[in-house]
């Protein structure tokens, strides 16, 4: 017998679907329910590697953590990784299967993936008591409904009730709720059970007349009003705005343990991927993280991070155009700390041979590290572990570039020359003892009297974050009604709201 299910949709992108999904998952698991997350199709440059070596969206990995289960490819069968304005790498069941334009994907490929997506969902529902699914964008994208496999397409095929989340902080939430339902076909509308208001500030009693009117207009109730809380973002989809509003960076501002703070500047390269790597740095009391795009912004930085990117050669050109390439070379020559991660590591090398990602052939790197990179068609997807700076460290690798290290001091899978460090490992800073050892080295090289806190646990902060999301659902949503939805599906007899979807 299949377990229960729910699709969390949104009136817009960034309405809070990922956060609400994680919150519902954490609330359920605390009630003893065996639950799993699911997102049929994710578009993101923030990805993660499962233990079996599959690449999935980081949001689903975090939602799996909210469920206290290991993430698997079943939880995110289709991942699209943008490589420019018009094309993306398609990752199917954790493995890349090629590049495709948006027109090509929506023109037929997406529909053909519906069977795979439904099979993954059914397998999860056969294993878990409940599966909480996350939609993408808005379910009322009428131009894409025919090929949809992530919103009403999956809800219709799997018989899932739909909860629509709206961000009231943006304004216009009532119109967004009503308009979302009114642009769906009668068959789709029959699955839209109701609404959830997100990011409300103020006195809920002032909102209640509007919720009553919305119920009168649509025949659908509101299942909860979640208050605005700082620092509740998890590893969501793309956008620097999302990251800066994210998990740890807004959670608290703690005074440094030592006499100085440590300033970290992250180069905001194009197609930046896994910029969540710096969240663990920002978790340390006294570490200030900011994203930069001008060379003068590196002047007072104690550490500069060149993060991962889906476009290594494009990022290299951007660094040169902005004057950041010369600034990085000067820093390295002066012995001031620089950390390159994945694509950021590759640009610091001597040269890049790329016939895969950019197809530009031989390209000169910044020449800061003695490394040569050749792009392979096969993507490296691993979960390495080891020791560095005398401490245990774990990470994950997602890259086509194969690095040949020709010198320097060994550092993870890369190297170190002076105070310039390079590695393909994402997530290494989440290893607490290693992170503290690394920050001590940076502080010493920068001449800062900064001392890492002895007890910061990044994993504990993540758990605290997920519990706060669970608390939001438990305290501000009608959980009895939510469980009835998950267990029994959408209420019968929901009214049709004209005009419905265009013919």
Catalytic residue IDs: 342, 426
Q: Which residues pair with 426 in a beta bridge?
A: 396
Contact 216, 23 (CB under 8 A): no
**3-class SS of residue 72:** coil
Using CA atoms, how far apart are residues 286 and 306, in angstroms rounded to an integer? 21
- Long-range contacts, 487-493 (Cβ 8 Å, 24+): 487/4, 487/130, 488/4, 489/159, 489/160, 489/161, 490/161, 490/162, 490/190, 490/191, 490/192, 490/193, 491/193
Here the tokens at position 381 are: 């997807």
Half-sphere exposure of 219 (CA within 13 A, CB side): 15
Q: Name 8's Cβ contacts closer than 8 Å, sequence gap at least 6.
A: 17, 20, 21, 24, 132, 133, 134, 135, 163, 165, 196
Pairing of strands 420-423, 338-341: parallel
Contact 309, 390 (CB under 8 A): no
Using CA atoms, how far apart are residues 331 and 324, in angstroms rounded to an integer? 10
Q: Which residues pair with 95 in a beta bridge?
A: 92
In angstroms and rounded to an integer, the radius of gyration of the C-alpha atoms of the chain is 23
**3-class SS of residue 303:** strand
Q: Name 205's Cβ contacts closer than 8 Å, sequence gap at least 6.
A: none
Using CA atoms, how far apart are residues 147 and 110, in angstroms rounded to an integer? 6
Q: Which residues pair with 264 in a beta bridge?
A: 289, 303
Residue 202 neighbours by CB distance under 10 Å: 10
Residue with tokens 């807004």: 250
CA 299 to chain CA centroid, nearest Å: 30
CA 479 to chain CA centroid, nearest Å: 26
Burial (Cβ within 10 Å: 0-12, 13-18, ≥19) of residue 236 = buried
Q: Name 483's Cβ contacts closer than 8 Å, sequence gap at least 6.
A: none
CA 450 to chain CA centroid, nearest Å: 30
Short-list 331, 369, 327, CA closest to 352: 369
């Amino acid at each position: 017998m299949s377990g229960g299910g729910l699709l969390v949709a949104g009136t817009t992108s960034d309405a809070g679907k990922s956060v609400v999904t994680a919150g519902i998952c954490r609330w359920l698991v605390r009630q003893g329910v065996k639950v799993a997350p699911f997102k049929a199709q994710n578009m993101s440059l923030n990805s993660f590697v499962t233990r079996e070596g599959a690449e999935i969206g980081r949001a689903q990995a975090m939602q799996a953590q909210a469920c206290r289960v290991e993430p698997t490819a079943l939880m995110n069968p289709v991942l699209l990784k943008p490589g420019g304005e018009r094309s993306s790498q398609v990752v199917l069941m954790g493995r890349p299967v090629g590049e495709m334009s948006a027109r090509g994907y929506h023109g037929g490929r997406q529909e053909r993936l519906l069977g795979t997506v439904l099979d993954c969902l059914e397998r999860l529902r056969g294993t878990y008591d409940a599966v909480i699914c996350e939609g993408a964008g808005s379910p009322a994208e009428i131009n894409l409904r025919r090929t949809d496999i992530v919103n009403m397409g999956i809800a219709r095929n799997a018989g899932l009730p739909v909860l629509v989340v709206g961000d009231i902080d943006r304004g216009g939430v009532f119109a967004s709720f009503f308009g979302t339902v009114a642009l769906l076909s009668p068959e789709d509308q029959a699955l839209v059970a109701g609404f959830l208001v997100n990011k409300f500030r103020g006195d809920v009693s002032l909102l209640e007349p509007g919720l009553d009117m919305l119920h009168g207009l649509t025949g659908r109730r509101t299942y909860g009003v979640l208050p605005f809380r700082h620092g509740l973002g998890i590893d969501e989809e793309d956008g620097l705005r999302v990251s800066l509003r994210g998990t740890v960076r807004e959670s608290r501002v703690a005074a440094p343990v030592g006499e100085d703070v440590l300033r970290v500047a992250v180069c905001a390269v194009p197609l930046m991927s896994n910029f969540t790597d710096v969240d663990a740095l920002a978790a340390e009391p006294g570490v200030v993280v900011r994203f930069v795009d001008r060379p003068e912004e590196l002047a007072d930085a104690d550490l500069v991070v060149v993060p991962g990117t889906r476009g290594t050669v494009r990022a290299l050109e951007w660094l040169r155009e902005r004057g950041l390439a010369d600034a990085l070379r000067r820093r390295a020559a002066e012995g001031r700390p620089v950390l390159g991660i994945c694509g950021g590591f590759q640009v610091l090398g001597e040269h890049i041979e790329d016939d895969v990602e950019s197809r530009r052939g031989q390209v000169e790197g910044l020449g800061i590290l003695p490394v040569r990179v050749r792009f392979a068609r096969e993507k490296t997807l691993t979960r390495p572990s080891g020791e560095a700076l005398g401490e245990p460290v774990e990470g994950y690798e997602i890259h086509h570039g194969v690095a040949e290290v020709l010198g320097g001091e060994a550092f993870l899978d890369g190297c170190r020359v002076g105070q310039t460090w390079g590695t393909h490992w994402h997530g290494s800073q989440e290893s607490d003892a290693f992170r503290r050892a690394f920050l001590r080295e940076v502080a010493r090289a920068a001449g800062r009297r900064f001392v890492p806190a002895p007890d910061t646990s990044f994993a504990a902060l993540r758990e605290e974050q997920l519990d706060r999301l669970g608390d939001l659902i438990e305290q501000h949503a009608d959980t009895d009604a939510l469980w009835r939805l998950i267990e029994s599906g959408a209420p019968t007899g929901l009214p049709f709201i004209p005009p419905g979807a265009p013919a």
